[in-house]
Amino acid sequence: MPRSNEPWKSPIWRTEPAFLYSKRPIARFVARPTAEFLKIEPAAGVVLVVCAALAMLWANSPWAASYDAVWGLDITFQFGDFTLHHTLKDWINDGLMAVFFFVVGVEIKSEIVTGELRSLRNAVPPIAGAIGGMAVPALIYTAFNAGGPGAGGWGIPMATDIAFAVGVLALFGSRIPSGARVFLLTLAIVDDLGAIAVIAVFYTEQIAMPWLVAAGAIVLLAIGLRLLNVWSAPVYLVVGVALWVAMLESGVHATIAGVAMGLIISARPLLDPEIAHAEAQEMAKGGLTAEETERLVKLTRDAVAPAERLQHQNHRFSSFVVLPLFALANAGVALSGDLFATALTSAVTLGIVLGLVVGKLLGITAATWLVVKLGLGRLPTGTTWPLLAAVALVAGIGFTVALFITELAFRGGDAALLTDEGKIGVLVASLLAALLGSLAVHLTAPKRAHDDETDTGDDAVEGRAAAALGLSDCSHERSEPTVRPYSWRDAALAPQNLMSQPPATLMPEDDEARTYLDEHTPEDTVRRYPWFCAAWARLAKNALESGDDVTAYAFARTGYHRGLDQLRRSGWKGHGPIPWEHKPNRGFLKSLHQLSRSAAAIGESDEAARCAQFLRDSDPAAADALT
């Protein structure tokens, strides 16, 4: 169905449309615009800011007493002789935040299995940056607080808030090279993994060994179920709840249970997507019965990796329920004149502010520079050193996990005061990092969006946008998709649709041309086989190695366009996999790689980033083999 501003008129409704698609004014002017807003990348960060601001206003209003009363409300669950007794704030911090850390664990698992962390060479720079971005802030904080009452807060400035940091980059749209986006996201994920380890090891009070042993046994049970290929979600839900209770009672922070379950969940699908796609297409030929429709739903579900599906299902709940409640419960600090004056000179506050704003910038930039100069990794495609430093500054937004560690860090008589000083430090540092980082990105990012090239990657971007629609909302029909920058989150969160996702494209055999190239020069080969992409790619590579970047660019672009023509004749619709293992595809993929290299060499960083992303989207194995 076509995209419509009047979805209530659709014939699909049996009697009347659902409220969200109705003609009611509140649906048209409030509900639908709100639903659309929640789909944009910076939305989670905006909601967090609003909730933090509301918490501060509430805690400093005439109703400040109600702030402590609400979040200090006792809530008890009793099951026979077993009792769970916590305040509302503790239920949010220990309970709901386990959902947030579960999503983080799933993201980490996906990155290790199918993302940037799968390739060591690609993963080294952001991993090194994350380590530097944790170590330097902790050292700066310790320099201010060693031996003092606030010494235990060294873990506070280590964390980067994923939602805020990615949201800031999203404000700049397609001006940000995809390589820089992936770098920040991978860095933030590794950063979170480090913060989780710090919480588990250093911010756990007393250990109840029987409960800890029980937690270990439950983890082994979950791993055993996974190895036995058990795919039932309710089974893992029961195991996850049991693990959460055991962790809570053991003294190890309960949110670790969320991370553990996220890492255990499979990051690969139960079904082969291509075979499932073919079966779905066969089923659809003569129309679908009710039974076949149910079968199609199961195919759609099981052809998507559980980690990807659960990430999609829990992302909004985590971003728009869990984190806002966490901000409301934890960001409220009563700012008396004395407290503010104390915080301005507090070693805790200064250590956090300088750690997040200065330490992140220095640690991430220096560590990345070191591994690049040592040849252990390379600068993200399309990213300059000034832009990388700007991204490092954005990573100084600590907020969620930093506030979380603040609640755990301080013990003793001055704990309440130190916690308030720590929260002020986190809020001030996050605001400074967001403002300074935004300004730095504005000054260092490419001035033009990714729309200045003829067609490099446009077909792929359009195709991915269409595929990402999945089983569309009832108010949408087939239409030309809006071209927008493609990011890792699009791949991770986009619902799959077996009826629209094309199978892999296989270019025709080229044995004769490949044999000729093995025995002759690439110049002679293109004269005889002008369509043969591999020869154009080799010409581009040779030109680059001899320092002639302009000629290399021309050769690579010729091979790229020759390859596009052959792909389209082979049934390629502008998106979908182009497998590296099929040898005739390699000429096009090599031309695409050389086009990225030569574009970077002549200063076309935007095009270089697009080509690198197109290569990885076509087949990650090609990107790993060529880079």
95: three-class secondary structure by DSSP:
helix
Residue 465 above 60 pLDDT?
A: no
* CA pseudo-torsion sign 333, 339, 344, 347: negative
Length of the chain, please? 627
* pLDDT tens sequence across 396-445: 988 778 888 888 888 766 788 888 888 889 888 988 998 999 999 989 88
On whether residue 456 sits in a domain, the answer given is no
* pLDDT tens sequence across 143-189: 999 888 888 889 999 988 776 787 788 777 667 876 787 788 778 87
To the nearest whole percent, how much of the chain has pLDDT over 70? 86
If asked whether residues 196 and 338 sit together in one domain, one would say yes
Mean pLDDT on 182-205: 79
The domain boundary, picked from 444, 475, 500, lies at 444
Residues in CB range of 572: below 8 A, 6 or more apart: 502, 505, 578
If asked whether residues 102 and 32 sit together in one domain, one would say no
On whether residue 461 sits in a domain, the answer given is no
Residues in CB range of 58: below 8 A, 6 or more apart: 64, 66, 67, 328, 332
Residue 455 above 60 pLDDT?
A: no
- Torsion on CA atoms 319, 322, 327, 330, rounded to nearest 10: -150
The domain boundary, picked from 444, 469, 499, lies at 444
If asked whether residues 53 and 175 sit together in one domain, one would say yes
On whether residue 76 sits in a domain, the answer given is yes
The domain boundary, picked from 398, 425, 444, lies at 444
If asked whether residues 260 and 405 sit together in one domain, one would say yes
If asked whether residues 259 and 351 sit together in one domain, one would say yes
On whether residue 293 sits in a domain, the answer given is no
To the nearest whole percent, how much of the chain has pLDDT over 90? 22
CA pair distance 335, 426, nearest whole angstrom:
14
Domain that holds residue 611: 511-626
pLDDT at 41: 56
If asked whether residues 12 and 105 sit together in one domain, one would say no
* pLDDT tens sequence across 605-620: 888 888 988 898 888 8
Confidence of residue 5 (pLDDT cuts 50, 70, 90): low
Work out how many domains the chain is built from and give that number. 3
Confidence of residue 532 (pLDDT cuts 50, 70, 90): very high
If asked whether residues 368 and 409 sit together in one domain, one would say yes
If asked whether residues 51 and 33 sit together in one domain, one would say no
Residue 490 above 60 pLDDT?
A: no
On whether residue 141 sits in a domain, the answer given is yes
Q: Name the token pair of 265.
A: 């969940």
If asked whether residues 329 and 425 sit together in one domain, one would say yes
If asked whether residues 32 and 70 sit together in one domain, one would say no
The top-scoring range by mean pLDDT among 180-184, 196-200, 220-224, 298-302 is: 220-224
Question: What CATH number does residue 383 fall under?
Answer: 1.20.1530.10
Residue 252 above 60 pLDDT?
A: yes
On whether residue 149 sits in a domain, the answer given is yes
On whether residue 454 sits in a domain, the answer given is no
If asked whether residues 429 and 522 sit together in one domain, one would say no
pLDDT at 40: 61
Residue the block writes with tokens 């003829």: 454
Check if the beta carbon of residue 453 is closer than 8 Å to that of residue 434: no
CA pair distance 30, 35, nearest whole angstrom:
9
The top-scoring range by mean pLDDT among 257-261, 380-384, 406-410 is: 257-261
If asked whether residues 394 and 528 sit together in one domain, one would say no
Mean of pLDDT over the chain = 80
On whether residue 460 sits in a domain, the answer given is no
For the chain, percent helix, then strand, then coil, each to nearest 5?
Answer: 70, 0, 30
Confidence of residue 370 (pLDDT cuts 50, 70, 90): very high
Residue 478 above 50 pLDDT?
A: no
* pLDDT tens sequence across 416-430: 888 888 888 988 898
* pLDDT tens sequence across 45-55: 778 778 888 98
